[in-house]
Structure 1
Amino acid sequence: MPVAFWSALLTSLAAAIVTTLGIWTIRRFADWGQRHSAYFMCFAAGVLISASFLHMIPKAFALNPHGPAMLLVGFFGMHLFNRFITAFVCDRDPQRKDYALGILPMLGIGFHSFIDGCIYSITFTSSVLTGLLATVGMVLHEFPEGIVTYLLLVKSGFAERRASWLAFMAAAASTPMGMLVSWPMVSTIDQPTLGLLLALSAGALVYVGATHLLPRAEQERRRYSLVALGGGILVAAIIVLSKA
């Protein structure tokens, strides 16, 4: 196997480990996490929305002129899936009325993490140095991503053990999976295709942040919620600058 393959695999595994550490940390301090879940939702919304608008959407539009259409598909696709979950899961089982709060972010983050794995393949194929530079920015958001995914699943009604496994599969395991799946096809994943995938992912993440996380956090009206939101925006800006 070429050096580029092992470099991409090891860095994607490192990203998964960092995400897993986030999940383990928040489960270890579960009571504290539950008490401050509104702050985590605001922080997550700041990261997801800002990273989408500051980096993913401009990048997608630059790579593919059809990016705006795919952005719309990602946004309304998540809306339709939300309606499906609400109608066929939540409404039929009152005990699962909040499941959509955890499932939708999990799917959005999982798809985003899978795309991250594809990006590892593409950047390391270009050169090992390019891949390492991309890694610096991408790994920054893995730790809070694991925390947020787990917390939202628990808050929506999933048991802690099940939430841990779902968060691990969606936010952690999906990154090396995306790298391994995309590696054999990396020569056929051209930039226009990557642009469409990024736009789709961005649309899903904007929907999750703007229509699920922020409204739910506003319902709890915590004193420092705006500070948490600003922190998420700041972290997203740091991630974008580190990738520049």
Structure 2
Amino acid sequence: MSVLLWIVVASLIGGALSVLCAALFALNARAHWVSALVSYAIGALLGAAFLEVLPEAMTLSSSAEAVSGTVLVGILAFFTMEKLLLWRHCHHDHCEAHEPHESHVIDTHGRSGTMIMVGDTFHNFVDGVIIAAAFLTDIHIGIVTALAIIAHEIPQEVGDFMILLHSGYSKAQALRVNLLSSVATLVGGVLAYFALQSAQSIVPTLMSLAAASMIYVAVADLIPGLHKRVALRDTVQQVVMIVLGVSSVFLVGLLIAE
């Protein structure tokens, strides 16, 4: 398959698969499944960032310091954007965004359905750009990156479904809106493919930013939610699922490289 076809397939399958899996969890209230999936997503994100994306970015770049510096800037930028988003929706001490929740996937409950979909569409577009940059670097890096993105998208999409249902959407409407939003992944991937064809020099920077986004989402957004469940059984399950996430990325990388 051509690189463009890989990008199209990964974007379409990734977007649709994450939405459909999220619908299964959200509409059937399988809360314990979602919790386990969050732990798996952490492992997949960290595995993809440290085992695949960052090593490849350093190989493509002439300076390891430039790559690590870009990752640092990216993490700070994502922190700043998230704080601005919270500030935009919350100007008082008892804002919902500041209250503890059982899971990160419902921490945006107070926003309107429309705002959630606007933010999710932009997020999906950026995911498409990341997927395209990864596939332009190497096919197996692209597949591993797409796997990590799908893994962390499902818990987020579950949260989106919950918010839409609480905002008055029917189950069918929530599914249609989420599927439509997922098309932005394909748009971002295709546009990035043609843009990056003539700008290969910025691919290492994009790869570094992609790694930064994976690390930030895993460490800042997902891991804090796990600390709210401190029972030994929950902790063991979390560690096992995180290791499984890292291992799956490692094994996929090995299988594709052969």
- The residue number in structure 2 matching 1:147 is 154
Distance of aligned partners of 1:167 and 1:227 in 2 relative to their CA distance in 1, 3 Å threshold: farther
* Aligned pair partner of 1:42 in 39, 44, 50: 39
Unaligned stretches of 5+ in structure 1? 124-129
In structure 1, the partner of 2:14 is 15
1:233 matched to which residue of 2? 243
- Taking the TM superposition and a 5 Å limit, the aligned residue runs for 1:179-198 are 179-190=189-200, 192-198=201-207
Partner residue of 2:30 out of 32, 35, 56: 32
Whether the 8 Å CA contact 1:19–1:146 is kept in 2: the answer is yes
User: In the alignment, is the contact (CA less than 8 A) between 1:38 and 1:225 conserved in 2?
Assistant: no
User: How many Å separate the matches in 2 of 1:227 and 1:238?
Assistant: 16
Displacement of 1:218 in angstroms is 0.6
Match of 1:175, SS? helix
**Aligned residue number for residue 63 of structure 1:** 60
Map Cα deviations across residues 114-148 of structure 1 (whole Å, 9 max, x no partner): 3113434x26xxxxxx74x5665455446533421
Letter in 2 for 1:159: L
**RMSD after superposition:** 3.6
3-state SS in 2 of match to 1:221: coil
Q: CA deviation at 1:76?
A: 0.7
**Does 2:201 match 1:159?**
no
How far residue 181 of structure 1 moved from its aligned partner, in angstroms, is: 0.2
Aligned partners of 1:42 and 1:229 also within 8 Å? yes
In structure 2, what is the Cα distance between the partners aligned to 1:57 and 1:164?
35
Whether 1:83 and 2:83 are equivalent positions in the alignment is yes
Gaps of 5+ in 2: 109-115
Q: 1:166 to 1:77 in 2, by over 3 A?
A: farther
SS of structure 2 residue aligned to 1:179: helix
By how many angstroms is 1:177 displaced?
A: 1.7
Q: Give the whole-Å Cα distance in 2 for the aligned partners of 1:78 and 1:89.
A: 17
User: Quick check: 71-80 or 46-55, which moved more?
Assistant: 46-55
CA–CA separation in structure 2 for the residues paired with 1:137 and 1:224: 27
Contact 2:134 2:145 in 1 (8 A): no
Tell me if structure 2 keeps the 8 A contact 1:118–1:183.
Answer: yes
Give the match for residue 73 of structure 1: 73
Q: Which residue of 2 aligns with 1:127?
A: none
1:148-203 per-position Cα deviation (integer Å, ceiling 9, x unaligned): 11234467xx3345976786577x4343223210232242131x411111111211
**C-alpha separation in 2, matches of 1:75 and 1:217:** 20
Q: Distance in 2 between matches of 1:43 and 1:197?
A: 24
Q: Does 1:116 align with 2:131?
A: yes
> Hey, what's the Cα distance between the residues in 2 that align with 1:50 and 1:6?
25
Cα shift at 1:228: 3.0
Q: What is the aligned residue count?
A: 228
Alpha-carbon distance between aligned partners in 1 of 2:34 and 2:84, rounded to the nearest angstrom = 26
| Contact persistence 2:129–2:188 (CA under 8 A) | yes
Equivalent pairs: percent with the same residue?
15
* Contact kept in structure 2, 1:20 and 1:143, CA below 8 Å: no
Determine the C-alpha separation between the residues in 2 that align with 1:169 and 1:240: 32
2: distance between equivalents of 1:183 and 1:62?
20
CA distances 1:13-65 after superposition (whole Å, capped 9, x unpaired): 23333223222222332x222x5544333222222223212222222222222
